[in-house]
Structure 1
Amino acid sequence: MDLGWQAATQAEHDRIRAEVAAWPDDRSRWRRAGHAGLLGYSVPVAHGGSGRGFLDTARAMEAFGAGCADMGLVFAALAHLFACAMPIAEHGTPAVRDRVLPRLSSGEWVGANAITEADAGSDVGALRATARRAGDHYVLDGVKTFVSNAPLADVLVVYASTEPAFGHLGVTAFIVPRDAPGLSVEPFDKAVLATCPAGEVRLTACRVPADHVLGAPGRGAAVFQSAMRWERTCLFAAFLGRADRLLARCAAHAREHRRFGRPIGANQAVSHGLARLRVRLEAARLLLWRACARLDRAERAVFDVAAAKLAVSEVAVDVAAFALRLLGGAGVRAGSGVTQDLLDAMAATTFSGTTEMQLEQIAGETAW
């Protein structure tokens, strides 16, 4: 495994980081993300994307997370790409891919993923939303919550049970246009990833054409798991980039901030804390790269993906908590970004599968 950066890859990383850092704080950022290629980075070239694999995409998204000041925007863009565009790219019909993916890749359209329910956050087999066949359509009923991008979405990937008695084997994934009859969205505010719009999606006798099924009826759990491969690696690469940026800020503060006539970094309590976090950050990065490399080779990578997601999310929390302590008053001032970084990192231990779910998968893949 090549642990270095090829010159072209490094140049791409630097380009993305510099470009996103210069974006103005306005509504143009979404289309700028599309123009930068970030909204379709892993979508096939034939459908308006860049066609990149897992490792190249992860490195690009690390630059996105490190360069962009707004993690809510980063999360919105990557939820759009990995939880909506990629399931369509990998499981949609040719006609649907041709119509939908170029618009998602360019940023003309916003995509969302609707799977979470109030009583079925991580349990795909417990979904209460249902879908029944009615001629050349399916009729969907149910309520989804914590749907990122829902208030602005033009198209949603929605999971519902077509055979409730079969549990996760009876779940089907659908592409649902925002203007589908019977679909409504109620926005709500949240403290974490606050600039990523979210809402509750209600499906009331919502009619969807039968050719909008992703994969095949009853294959929704497989569609969801394929999306999770992208989310748990490439989306979390952005959190890796954000933690790296924040740790660099801590190191600069330790060099420049003086107490009792010397930099605070001269104290072992500070320097050792920075050193430990640097090691953990590098270890998380290597776990992430290994998971992506194995996925690019189509190898089994259940352990690798779970370990990478676990390591990145936990070190992101610890870096942000350390920064809040180290920066003191500067860290808690409004506008410092550090308290928001901590809240956003805390959320990363929950979405895309909780820490406990990752530990279960790791335990299941480990020969004791």
Structure 2
Amino acid sequence: MFEWNKEQKQLADSIRKWEGRFTRQSDTCLDPEQFQRNWTLVQEMGILSLPIENEYGGLGQNVLTTMHALESFGSICCDEGLSFSVSSHMVSTAIPIQKFGSSSQKNDYLPLICAGERIGAHAISESESGSDAWSMKTKAVACGEGYRLNGSKTFTSNGPIADTFIVYARTSEETGTLGGFSAFIVDRDTPGFTVGSTLKKMGLHSSPLCDLYFDHCLLTPDKLLGKEGQGFSIFNYVMNWEILLSFIINVGEMQGLLDKCIEYSKTRSQYGQPIGKYQAISHKIADMKIGLETSRTMLYKAGYGFQHGRNITTDLSIAKVVTSETFVKSALDAIQIFGGNGYMQETGIEKYLRNSVASKIYSGTSEVQRNTIASMLGL
């Protein structure tokens, strides 16, 4: 589709040089000390600042360059939960504040966020709303001092470790989805705001998530992000970035998994020859390659359209479905290729399955994405 220029190639190569520096997280729970060591490496790499403008301490890179760099990061980082936290941090706070924030909000938050000194998260999901996000119950009511925020959120990635949250809440009962919701910047130490305990989950253990609670949480007027009623537009913009960045990291992870399977199929012998010589194995690996290249192509196609201001609704939904479902299938095939060894935690293969399953759910389930594609076809 297009060629990477010299600077883009050098950036990706510089990230690959960090391979082997990260430590693999626990397969059962978050190790705070280990997370901090890996987060410090991320800060030193500078990837958190990729899409942020230079005046705020960022590298000022466009979406395609950022994606290319993060694909490399996904391929070399053995801590997939950390990779997910990195993308969540970038898209949840840095991206919306840069696009919709006031000058003071940008100056106050962006330098710290892109340096990784403040960790970001966003909160939209609620326990009863699920995919119907805009049926949320959390409300922000205007008062003389600003807004009073009441309600709760769930499945907040980075929540237990975040310092800055973008919280979406209903601000009008009379206005529909397009104008009835707003986004707010909420600092962790805001009175009335409580961060819940870390929730246990199937995979991505080093990317912690939790519930959030707001009890008459007072937000001063300067905590409103963008304009009142702009929450839906802000979140839609953020979701474009979220899918592009999170899932291009998955492409990098799938590349790493494919490489492991190829190497294993060449060195593991059964019945007198390497298992890669058997069609049952070689076809699985061929399918992994097909899925990988299709995912990569669709994501960069969507990224190219986004960068050039095009409507990418259909392309983005296709890319999300293809990448997430390919990732799960590839993980299952990898376990089959490795056999009993693939089922053991020691080899690090089974974690790909545990980590990949969530990709069919977050950022819009596969079912929601198919609904979107169908509606764009006029169905």
- Give the TM-score band, short-chain normalised: over 0.9
CA apart distance, 1:100: 0.4
- Structure 1, unpaired ranges of 5+: none
Equivalent residue for 2:319, pick from 287, 308, 316: 308
- For residues 359 and 113 of structure 1, the distance between their equivalents in structure 2, rounded to whole angstroms, comes to 24
**1:362 corresponds to:** 373
Amino acid across the alignment from 1:59: H
Over the residues paired in the alignment, what is the CA RMSD in angstroms?
A: 1.4
Give the counterpart letter for 2:47 in structure 1: L
Aligned equivalents of 1:24, 1:263: Cα separation in 2:
31
Which of the numbers 34, 38, 54 marks the counterpart of 2:43? 34
Q: Secondary structure at the match of 1:159?
A: strand
Structure 1 window deviating more from structure 2 (164-173 vs 226-235): it is: 164-173
* Contact 2:49–2:57 (8 Å) recurs in 1: yes
Q: Percent identity?
A: 33
Taking the TM superposition and a 5 Å limit, the aligned residue runs for 1:139-288 are: 139-169=148-178, 170-188=180-198, 189-288=200-299
2:182 partner letter: T
Partners of 1:71 and 1:165 in 2: how far apart? 43
Q: What aligned pairs does 1:79-98 form with structure 2 within 5 A after superposition?
A: 79-98=88-107
Question: How far is the alpha carbon of 1:335 from its aligned partner?
Answer: 2.8
Contact 2:165 2:185 in 1 (8 A): yes
Q: Give the counterpart of 2:129 among 93, 108, 120.
A: 120
**How big is the shift at 1:366?**
2.5
1:297 match: 308
Q: Give 1:193 shift.
A: 0.8
Deviation at residue 23 of structure 1 after TM alignment:
3.0
**Alignment partners' CA distance in 1, 2:351 and 2:183:** 33
Q: 1:319 aligns with which of 314, 319, 330?
A: 330
CA positional deviation for 1:299 = 1.1
Name the CA shift for 1:239/1:343 in 2 (closer, same or farther; >3 Å). same
Note the residue ranges of structure 2 that are not aligned, 5 or more in a row: 25-33
Q: Write the letter of the residue equivalent to 2:304.
A: A
2:339 match: 328
**Mapped contact 1:145–1:201 kept (Cα < 8 A):** yes
TM-score calculated relative to the size of structure 2 = 0.93
Query: Offset at 1:52?
Result: 1.4
Separation of aligned partners in 2, 1:128 and 1:179: 23
Residue 10 of structure 2 corresponds to 11
SS at match of 1:289: helix
**Counterpart mapping for 1:31-110 below 5 A:** 31-110=40-119
User: How big is the shift at 1:20?
Assistant: 4.9
Task: State the distance in 1 between where 2:300 and 2:132 align.
Answer: 28
With 91-100 and 33-42 compared, the bigger mean Cα shift is at 33-42
The equivalent residue for 2:363 is 352
Quick one: distance in 2 between partners of 1:336 and 1:256? 15
Shift of 1:337: 2.1
> Cα deviation per residue 1:17-72 (whole Å; 9 max; x = unaligned)?
22153135632221321221221211212112212111111111111111100010
Give the CA deviation at 1:249. Answer: 0.6
Note the C-alpha offset of 1:367.
Answer: 5.8
- State the one-letter code of the partner of 2:349: V
Greater CA drift, 9-18 or 260-269: 9-18
**Is the partner of 1:317 in helix, strand or coil?**
helix
